[in-house]
Amino acid sequence: MIQRLIDNNQIKIFFQPIISLKNNKIFAFEALTRAYDGNEELISPIELFIQAGKENISNTLDSYVRELALIKFLEYYKNDNDLMLFLNFESTFIDSEEHNDFLETVQKYSINPSNLVL
C-alpha cells in the first residue's frame, strides 16, 4: 500500500507556519505529511507510518517525505534563507545510516543544515 501511495504521488506535504510573536512574522514551517487513498480519503499520518512498519519500509517512507518537505521548503528558502524547517522523523533514523543520506539530500538542494530542526 505505501509504495503504491508513493508511486502515485498520493502523499503530500503541507506547511504549518510558525510565527514569532516578537517579530510578528513567520520564521519557520513545520512539515506535515498527509496521504490520500484513491477516493481522496485522508489517511492519518499515524496510520501511514504504522502501515509502513508492517510493510517493512518505514525508512523508505520517512526518507521520501523528508525529501518532499525539502523540495517544498526550497520555494520559500530561496526568498528568505533565514527561514527554518521543522521536520518530524522516524525515531529509528537516529541509529541508522540514513542520517548520512539525509545530509546529502539537504546538500543537494543547497539548504543550510542549520536551517533544519529535527
Q: Tens of pLDDT along 14-65?
A: 999 999 999 999 999 999 999 988 777 899 899 999 999 999 998 899 989 9
Integer-rounded Cα Rg, in Å, for the chain is: 15
In the prediction, which pLDDT does 50 show?
Answer: 93
**Once rounded to an integer, what is the mean pLDDT over residues 90-117?**
81
pLDDT band at 97 (very low <50, low <70, confident <90, very high): low
**pLDDT > 80? residue 80:** yes
In the prediction, which pLDDT does 94 show?
Answer: 65
Q: Which residues, in sequence order, are bridge partners of residue 31?
A: 15
Q: CA 6 to CA 106: how far, in whole Å? A: 20
User: What phi-psi label fits residue 10: left (phi over 0), alpha (psi between -120 and 50 degrees) or beta?
Assistant: alpha
Domain edges within the chain: 2-117
Q: 2-117, superfamily in CATH?
A: EAL domain (3.20.20.450)
Give pTM, 2 decimals. Answer: 0.88
In the prediction, which pLDDT does 100 show?
Answer: 62
**pLDDT > 70? residue 73:** yes
Buried/exposed code over 61-79 (b: 16+ C-beta within 10 A; e: otherwise):
bbbbbbbbbbebbeebbee
pLDDT band at 103 (very low <50, low <70, confident <90, very high): confident
